[in-house]
Structure 1
Amino acid sequence: MATQKVTSMEVARLAGVSQSAVSRVFTPGASASKKTVEKVRKAAKELGYRPNVLARAVVSGKSRIIGLVVAYLNNQFYPEALEKLTNALQERGYHVLIFMASHQAGNIDNVVEEILDFQVDGIIAASVALSSDLSDRCRTAGVPMVLFNRAQDDTAMSSVTSDNIAGGRKAAEFLLAGGHRKIGYIAGWEGASTQRDREAGFVASLNEAGVELHAREVGNFLSEEARQATLRMFETDPPDAVFVANDHMAISVMDTLRFEMDLKVPQDVSVIGYDDVTVASWPAYNLTTIRQPANRMVAETVDILLSKIEDADARPRRVEIDGPLIVRGSARIPEGWKT
């Protein structure tokens, strides 16, 4: 048999305070004396009362909820980054709702439409891009949005990424300094700005040194597709070095080279990844990679979003944060290279 929900009036009666005092206790940022807070929380616990956040949003126009949309969690970078984002927002008094989408634009648009129904104060889109129509829809609804680890041409859309072009250049410079000239690249999903920029920086740096890309395959940021890409790339005239668009794929590439093709890393093939996820530092992989500065990316994302929530006239910002090359043992270390 269903029980009737406890109301704030009942809590107020038991605590011996006004209903508005109960509301202040459960409203982030509102003021209430320590004694009032103790009495209200004690009464609420006794009665099993929980405030209705969505109902409060209708009254105040602020839900203190951030919608976080992400395309996939297989790549270890995203669970770690989302944990940091969630913690940072909670420290600022916001709740986080996570919604899963896929790369397909229609699916993403449907998910964001659903997020707007929850009366969120803002949206962070991690690893996804949005249609221009949907960007306009969010602006019309007065809901600010920040793209995390993605960027797009819409100058009105704020975004935070690592400096992917610079990261691609660092990977190329390291391989060239190590004496490699037959260099391959395994791309991520080609609709992603991060993929395009990493490849652009990488290829530009090779070309400036008079070196053409020797081989190219697409792994779509997926482990199995990266495996298949590796098998194709090394079937005939294989490269002696490979830059892989992220660590999630690079781990698969290394496993394929070592256990299916009987090649040694880095003696036969140098491998460089991108992200510096936790697994990259494990002795089994010891992966040389470009580090995504996740802490700084999260801090910038939260700052941009909350600034826009507090001031609707705040201008959009596009931030690119430089990340270092982390030299480990999966790629030949150039003579005299300082680590």
Structure 2
Amino acid sequence: MANEKVTSVDVAKRAGVSQSAVSRVFTPGASASKETTAKVRKAAAELGYRPNVLARSLITGRSRIIGLVVAYLDNYFYPEVVERLSVALQQKGYHVLVFMASPTVGDVESVLQEILDYQVDGLVLASVSMSSVLAGECQALGIPVVLFNRDQDDARLSSVTTDNRAGGRAVAEHLIDIGCERIAYIAGWEGASTQRDRELGLRDGLEAAGRTLYARGVGNFEHPQAQEAARRMFDRSDPPDAVFVCNDHMAFAVMDVLRFELGLRIPDDVAVAGFDDVPPSAWPAYGLTSFRQRINRMVSETVTTLMDRIEGGGTEPRRIEIDGALVVRGSTRKTGG
């Protein structure tokens, strides 16, 4: 009958091969000759056969699904991360399920059970935190976890980050080099390691030059809160002449307030620097000086770490910090400019 379900046995008969050969052709990473692959795929196309991935996972005990937990998708950095991680993992024969976590609380409590219901083979947490209890539960279930663009003090967890502290220091040194005297900072969410380390780096650079932070606000990685932080910071008779904003997403909000609400000129009245170097940073509308995160290297290290745990049997956690680079654009000025 036309509506009867086609099985791998039917494909094997049509192709003149064994059922195990059909299974190898449709199993990522399995070995099959070009001739066998061609015959099996031709027979499958003629019969309208599609492998049952869920049924295979019951047999192998592997779902070949990676859970990707993200927040802040309105930040240009993360859609790019999701795309590149998804492509890289698909090339390894894995499928990606994306879960959203709270952007303010920044944890995975609310989505953990849903994630575990899918029996994922691994987890990537992009800028969200995991409690020690949840980390222990994942470890007990044998689920590898890699933190992406976030670190935390749990020796069981692997992490891949930019050297955020070095990035913050590079921004400080640049602002001092171009002659800025009153250097301010707008922080992200206080519970994030990225926020902590970028601010520490900024303060390191200021201290090395005998300076202190002139003013500080908090934007919590949110566009409206960054706008309000800028309004408060510059509502004074002696406003900062430079502001480092913890990420580009907030920096764009700050620049819009400075230019269009307060009538300040960038960089003549105030220099602005961000962090991430997302694509709009290079747009003429912003021309934002920003510390670049090397997404391709971060994604590659994340996938390598996951695959080592899932397929290679590795057990040791890895803490990987990747060098970035300061990209200077028109939002900061040269001395005397």
Aligned-pair CA distance for 1:205: 1.9
Aligned to 1:145: 145
TM-score (norm 2): 0.94
Aligned to 2:111: 111
Runs of 4+ in 1 over 4 A off after TM superposition: 104-107
Aligned partner of 1:214 in structure 2 is 214
Corresponding residue SS for 1:186: strand
Counterpart residue identity of residue 208, structure 1: A
Shift of 1:106: 8.8
User: Aligned partners of 2:255 and 2:330: how far apart in 1?
Assistant: 12
Map of 1:120 onto structure 2: 120
How much does 1:21 deviate? 1.9
**1:92 corresponds to:** 92
- Normalising by structure 1, we get a TM-score of 0.93
User: Could you tell me which amino acid in structure 1 is paired with residue 48 of structure 2?
Assistant: G
Report Cα offsets for 1:70-116 as digits up to 9, x if no partner: 11211111111222212222222222221111146696123233222
Q: Which residue of 2 aligns with 1:198?
A: 198
Kindly tell me: are residues 106 and 137 of structure 1, through their superposed partners in 2, closer, same or farther at Cα, counting changes over 3 Å? farther
Change (3 A) 1:213 1:119: same
Superposed, which structure 2 residues align to 1:213-292 within 5 Å?
Answer: 213-236=213-236, 237-292=238-293
CA distance in 1, matches of 2:161, 2:336: 32
Query: Is residue 2:332 matched to residue 1:331?
Result: yes
How many correspondences in the alignment? 335
C-alpha spacing 1:4/1:74, structure 2 compared with 1 (3 Å): farther
Superimposed CA distance per residue, residues 114-142 of structure 1 (whole angstroms, 9 cap, x where no aligned partner): 22222222111111110111111111111
The aligned residue for residue 33 of structure 1 is 33
Q: Is the 8 A contact 2:107 2:130 kept in 1?
A: no
Indicate how the Cα distance of structure 1 residues 130 and 258 shifts in structure 2: closer, same or farther if over 3 A, else same: same
Report the CA distance shift for 1:291/1:107 in structure 2 as closer, same or farther (over 3 A): closer
Please give the per-residue CA displacement for 1:193-233, whole angstroms capped at 9, x wherever unaligned: 10111011112221232222111111111111111111111
Change in 2 beyond 3 A, CA 1:116/1:104: farther
Q: Which amino acid aligns with 2:65?
A: I
User: How far did 1:309 drift?
Assistant: 1.2
CA deviation string 1:296-323 (max 9, x = no partner): 1111111111111123343111011111
CA contact (8 A) 2:189 2:195 kept: yes
Over 3 Å counting, the alpha-carbon distance change for 1:233 and 1:239 in structure 2 is: same
Change (3 A) 1:104 1:6: farther
- CA shift, 1:48, in A, is 2.6
Per-residue displacement from partner, 1:13-45 (whole Å, max 9, x unpaired)? 333333222211111122222232222222222
- Percent identity, aligned pairs only, is 63
* Match in the other structure for 2:159: 159
Deviations 1:246-288 (A, max 9, x none): 0111111111111111110000000000000110011111111
Asked if structure 1 preserves the Cα contact closer than 8 Å seen for 2:308 and 2:314, the reply is: no
CA distance in 2, matches of 1:18, 1:93: 23
Q: What CA deviation, in whole Å up to 9, does each residue of 1:170-213 have, x standing for no partner?
A: 11111111221211111111111101110111122212322221
Paired amino acid for 1:119: Q
Of residues 313-322 and 96-105 in structure 1, the stretch that sits farther from structure 2 once superposed is: 96-105
Change (3 A) 1:104 1:173: closer
CA distance in 2, matches of 1:82, 1:195: 21
Deviates more, 1:199-208 or 1:314-323: 199-208
* Structure 2: segments with no counterpart, 5+ residues: none
Which moved further from structure 2: 192-201 or 209-218? 209-218
Following the alignment from structure 1 to structure 2, what is the Cα–Cα distance between the partners of residues 48 and 235?
68
Paired with 1:238 and 1:287, the residues of 2 have a C-alpha distance of 20
- Cα–Cα, structure 1 residues 221 and 113, in superposed 2: closer, same or farther, change >3 Å? same
Query: Residues 107 and 270 of structure 1: is their aligned pair in 2 closer, same or farther, counting only changes over 3 Å?
Result: closer
Name the CA distance, whole Å, in 1 between partners of 2:336 and 2:149.
34
